Amino acid sequence: MLLARFLEGLSPESAGLFCGRINISMTTETKTKKTMPANRQRAPSRGGARPGGGRPKGSTTKIKIEDLMAQIELQSGESYDQLLAKNYVLAIQRSDWGGVRDYDKAFMNKMIADRSEVTVLESEDAVAIKQAAFAQAIAQITGLPRKD
């Protein structure tokens, strides 16, 4: 719209030259598509296993938890348990309730993991009863007579 108004004010020769310049500057050359050599394969763009990818066999963890705990204690002068308790109290004092919640979850997970160990003590009678029941179940499945 503005270009039409601008061209109205020009002489026909000037308008033609001006339009010609626009057309010349706006022409584009067609780009040729590059082709890949036949001996090269295109790599997959996302995901999937690749040759030589992943962790090398026989590699070890570079940081061991025992070494990390020892360094924390050496650098801070306090054990990790003491630092954890101190940070928990500081989170409560500064009203960092998200941090307090995270500490609570960590403490509860540790306490529950420690308490969930089950020790089963069986007498010789219980073992003999289980062996007999197992032999009976196998005999029913296979159809073989049981040895008593």
Looking at the domain assignment, is residue 79 inside a domain? no
Domain extent at residue 99: 85-117
Q: What are 43-78's pLDDT values in tens digits?
A: 656 777 788 888 888 888 788 888 888 998 999 999
Query: Which one has a higher pLDDT value, 44 or 90?
Result: 90
User: Which pLDDT score is estimated for 110?
Assistant: 76
Q: Quick one: pLDDT at residue 92?
A: 92
Model pLDDT for residues 11-27, shown as the tens digit of each residue: 655 555 555 555 555 55
Count of domains in the chain? Answer: 2
Q: Please tell me whether residues 104 and 91 are part of one structural domain.
A: yes
Whether 41 is in a domain gets the answer: no
Residue 137 lies in a domain: yes
Q: Are 25 and 18 in contact (CB under 8 A)?
A: no
- Residue 138 neighbours by CB under 8 Å, 6+ apart: 144
Residue 21 lies in a domain: no
Residue type, 95: S
Q: Is the residue at 136 inside a domain? A: yes
Q: How far is CA 44 from the centre of its chain?
A: 21
Q: Examine residue 14 and state whether it is found in any structural domain, yes or no.
A: no
Q: Is residue 77 part of a domain?
A: no
